[in-house]
Amino acid sequence: MPMKNERPEWIFKTNPEKLKGLLLGIEEGKIALPEFQRDWVWEPENIRELIISVSQSFPAGSLLTLRTAKKTFQTRYFAETEVLSEREPERIVLDGQQRLTALFQTLQSKKGVKKDKRYFFYVSLGKLLDGESIEEALFYTDESKKVKEGKDVLFELNNRENEFENKCLPLNCIFNDYEDWSWEFYEHLRTNDISDDEIKNIRNTLKTFVDPIKDYEFPTIDLHPETPLKAVCHIFEKVNTTGITLTVFELLTAILWPQNIDLRKKWKNIKEKLNDLPNMEGVDIDNVTFLQTLSLLSTYANKIANPDKRIAVSCNRDDLLEITAKDIEDYWDKAFAGYKEAARILFENGVYSDRILPYKTMLAPLAAICGQLIIDKGGIKTDIIYSKIKQWYWRSVFTWRYSSGAESKSAQDFVQVMSWINGGDIPDSVRHYEFNEGLLYEITTVRNAAYSGILCLLLKNRPLDFKSGFEITTQLYHDHGIDHHHIFPSAYLKKGIPDIEQRKVNCILNKTPIDASTNRSIGANSPSKYLPIIEKELESNSLSNVLKSHYIDEDLLKETPLKFENEDDRTKLVRIYDEFLENRKEAIMELIKGAVGDL
């Protein structure tokens, strides 16, 4: 393998290759696919369009292959091949899988094209002889091989006699037994008193269709077998024509395979462990985020071990592709331990579901901080350390710090928070905190980190369930279908205050965790009308205690007009709603101040 900055004498070569040789190579297992390639997805109509192009010698794109002088990737054979003996492929196809699979199953395989059912492709020589285009003459049937027009069966093609009778050439014989098929076809024509001139015309028509397919060549870009794996993955992403971008996890899986690391299997095992952790309803960790945590831990260790060198702690895409087998061995379990601790912290801070997690992008640095503390100190051993982590977390949420540039901020925060815990300076993200309480009137959607953060802070303080009257635990949260709903119903407010701004209706100040059945009973009713219904259905506790636990002023809600019979009713609602919002703003600001803490 060349050094990182070296290149082989040639990176790639280009040459045209006969379609026949490519399909034969696929059948024999000489040409295969890297395991990280996505599955074949083309439908019969896509294949028909490709055959039309090939049969007319039109360009159908180029292929990108990699010579495999030694095994570089985990590989698999093309779909529907039956390679008789296991063999190392000579080449793998990086771009062209969809086209080559379609052509193999259509032209080479006798089993037909495998989708929801099997399909077989034909060309109607009769239509070609009548002067119709290839587009009109090329068709496919399902495995019944019945050609239909609506519900009527026009004819069947389930044996050669039927094919000859209806002048339909099966495309899967072109690279197999075409000579036999055509000889028998011409004999059939002679037996049926078709003149030599007519047979000659049919022969020429058939040749005009078949020869371009037999002679078709694909331009092929062949990568040098010693092209660095990272470069191969980069090239694959740039030229892949499926429109599906591979994740960095899939690329790293391919890179680490030659080092005897089955990353996909390791992730499956660790994901099961993560899902089995208590309170994991609130944290759905994906494999790329997990790799980011691992990268933060490994690059941080490298930096600490080499204080005289300028080593960056990082977790961006390129850095993840630099993760080595040794990094996996050293930090895989440590990253898991970090997530286990991070899940506990998130749960204790009210993250009861992935839906209200303020920032998924904060999972990587949070788990890295927890993982590094386990490495350095055996865990979060003091209240002071826990307090610092929470301050960093909540101040980041309420300054929308992780709305962009998450990778660079993750690395910066990880290093600075660890330094702060160890007696260093206060992190920039903590020191520069500022939150304008007026924004609480503007925050209207759960996609806003501050909106989700406030819901989490409400749950952290264990409010009472509107249905049962019990504290909202994570189990009760999921069992009762608790979500964030209006306290003053939207329809009610708009009826009473027709010119009210939408943001004022939907702001977080007018939302709280409410179960599904209670929300249905609230409907579009005035609070003074729905409160007695809730009180009657409460299984335990008092309505006053439930409302107080959500920082809702019971007296104000009970004053709300039932109907709007005159302007005084509307004026009264304006006064009540403004006072309600102001009171709740003050209460929620106290929650936020308690979470972000003082320095």
Quick check: 6 pLDDT over 60? no
CA atoms 507, 508, 509, 514: torsion sign: positive
* DSSP state letter for 108: I
- Given pLDDT bands bounded at 50, 70 and 90, which one contains residue 306? very high
DSSP lists the bridge partners of residue 76 as 33
The whole-angstrom separation of Cα 436 and Cα 449 is 15
Q: How far is CA 82 from the centre of its chain?
A: 32
* DSSP H/E element including 161: helix 160-165
The residue among 577, 302, 296, 250 whose CA lies nearest residue 441 is 577
* Helices assigned H by DSSP within 56-152: 97-103, 125-129, 134-137
> What DSSP string runs through 445-505?
-TTSHHHHHHHHHHHHT-PBPTTT-SB--HHHHHHTT-EEEESS-HHHHHHHSTT--HHHH
Q: What is the pLDDT of residue 121?
A: 97
The residue among 474, 456, 493 whose CA lies nearest residue 595 is 456
Quick check: 12 pLDDT over 50? yes
Dihedral angle, C-alpha 534, 536, 539, 544, nearest 10 °: 60
Amino acid at 342: A
Residue 153, C-beta contacts closer than 8 angstroms, at least 6 positions apart: 146, 147
* DSSP H/E element including 569: helix 567-596
The phi-psi region of residue 117 (left if phi > 0; otherwise alpha if psi is between -120 and 50; otherwise beta) is beta
Q: What is the pLDDT of residue 243?
A: 47
- Identify the burial level of 296 via C-beta atoms within 10 angstroms of its C-beta, where 0-12 means exposed, 13-18 middle and 19 or more buried: buried
3-class DSSP assignment, residue 538: coil
Tell me what percent of the residues of the chain surpass a pLDDT of 90: 74
Tens digits of residue pLDDT in 390-432? 999 999 999 999 999 999 999 999 999 999 999 999 999 999 9
The residue among 248, 246, 228 whose CA lies nearest residue 236 is 246
* DSSP state letter for 78: P
The whole-angstrom separation of Cα 295 and Cα 322 is 9
Tens digits of residue pLDDT in 105-143? 999 999 999 988 999 999 999 999 999 999 999 999 999
* DSSP H/E element including 33: strand 31-34
Tens digits of residue pLDDT in 66-85? 887 556 677 888 988 887 66
* DSSP H/E element including 72: none
Retrieve residue 81's tokens: 């091949």
* DSSP state letter for 14: E
CB-facing half-sphere around the CA of 150: CA atoms within 13 A = 1
The whole-angstrom separation of Cα 420 and Cα 385 is 9
Other Cβ atoms less than 10 A from the Cβ of 482: the count is: 24
Tens digits of residue pLDDT in 323-365? 999 999 999 999 999 999 999 999 999 999 889 999 999 999 9
Tens digits of residue pLDDT in 163-207? 999 999 999 999 999 999 999 999 999 999 889 999 999 999 999
Residue 580, C-beta contacts closer than 8 angstroms, at least 6 positions apart: 487, 488, 509, 510, 552, 553, 556, 557
Residue 304, C-beta contacts closer than 8 angstroms, at least 6 positions apart: none
Tens digits of residue pLDDT in 204-252? 999 999 999 999 999 998 888 877 766 776 676 666 655 455 678 888 8
More confident residue, 2 or 333: 333
- Given pLDDT bands bounded at 50, 70 and 90, which one contains residue 88? confident
* Mean pLDDT computed over 430-440: 95
Quick check: 320 pLDDT over 70? yes
More confident residue, 7 or 160: 160
CB-facing half-sphere around the CA of 272: CA atoms within 13 A = 5
Q: What is the pLDDT of residue 13?
A: 72
Quick check: 10 pLDDT over 70? no
Q: What is the pLDDT of residue 84?
A: 63
Q: What is the pLDDT of residue 3?
A: 39
Amino acid at 119: Y
* DSSP H/E element including 43: none
What 3 state SS string does 226-264 have?
A: CCCHHHHHHHHHHHCCCCCCCCHHHHHHHHHHHHCCCHH
Retrieve residue 584's tokens: 């709740």
Q: What is the pLDDT of residue 9?
A: 56
Tell me the whole-structure pTM to 2 decimals. Answer: 0.73
> Which of 141-145, 454-458, 535-539 shows the highest mean pLDDT?
454-458
DSSP lists the bridge partners of residue 140 as 121
Tell me what percent of the residues of the chain surpass a pLDDT of 70: 93
Mean pLDDT over the full length of the chain: 90
